[in-house]
Amino acid sequence: MIVTLTVNGELRSASVPPETTLLVMLREHLHLTGAKTGCDVGDCGACTVIVDGLAVNACLMLAAQADGRTVTTIEGLATREGLHPLQKVFEETGALQCGFCGPGVIMTSKALLDHTPEPTPQEIRTALTGNLCRCTGYVKMIEGVQEAAAMMRSPQSPALAGQSPALAAPEQK
Ligand code: FES
Ligand code: FES
């Protein structure tokens, strides 16, 4: 079957078997390998992408279920002007160690910040319960999400200088 998605702002199509997951379509058919294959059964969150504004485990969603929908992957966050504030903060603060969980954590955090621009540490912790990290205690990650949120709320922030208007004033849902 032909599945067509809007991925990171571009219309992309692939011919896939009906049982193909969104994760396999992204990684193997569209060559977007930022979303990771961890458990493949919905336990680890390494495969998290955003579909129509919601963070989802791409290993649990059929590509057919995503047909016609809008998908954002980690590859879609940075702009020509620079990294997304979440990427920038995580890179600068060493919030991650091995990094395997990183794309999923960042996409879950982005979905949270798109809906909740000023989350509490508990709200961030709750949002990240589906993202397993075997290396860290989540403390730096949670601080990093709060720091990125502050940057995104403040268009004057030096970290956002040169970023697109969409980043300086994130779309509200
Ligand atoms: S690979 Fe999808 S939740 Fe683990
Ligand atoms: S940094 Fe290694 S799994 Fe999270």
Residues 103 and 74: beta-carbon distance below 8 Å: yes
Out of 44, 75, 106, pick the residue that ends a domain: 75
Considering every ligand atom shown, identify the ligand nearest to the alpha carbon of residue 36 and give its number. 1
Considering every ligand atom shown, identify the ligand nearest to the alpha carbon of residue 135 and give its number. 2
Domain of 120? Answer: 85-162
* Average pLDDT rounded to a whole number, residues 156-163: 51
Q: Is 133 in the pocket of ligand 2 (CB under 6 A)?
A: yes
The b-or-e profile of 76-87 (16+ CB within 10 A means b, else e) is: bbeeeebbbbbb
Q: What is the pTM of this model?
A: 0.89
Going by C-alpha positions, the residue among 27, 23, 30 that lies closest to residue 49 is 23
Q: Is a pLDDT exceeding 50 seen at residue 86? A: yes
Protein residue with least CA distance to atom 3, ligand 1:
42
Q: Would you give the end-to-end CA distance of the chain in angstroms?
A: 32
41 three-class SS: coil
Percent of the chain with pLDDT over 70: 89
* Whether residue 53 is found in the same domain as residue 89: no
H or E stretch covering 54: strand 54-57
Structure tokens at 88: 């920038």
Q: Is a pLDDT exceeding 90 seen at residue 165? A: no
What is the model's pLDDT at position 166?
A: 41
Please state the atom number of ligand 1 nearest to the C-alpha of residue 37: 1
* Whether residue 66 is found in the same domain as residue 38: yes
- pLDDT (tens digit per residue) in 47-84: 999 999 999 999 999 999 999 999 999 999 999 889 99
* Whether residue 11 is found in the same domain as residue 54: yes
CATH number of residue 32's parent domain: 3.10.20.30
CA of 128 to the centre of ligand 2 (A): 13
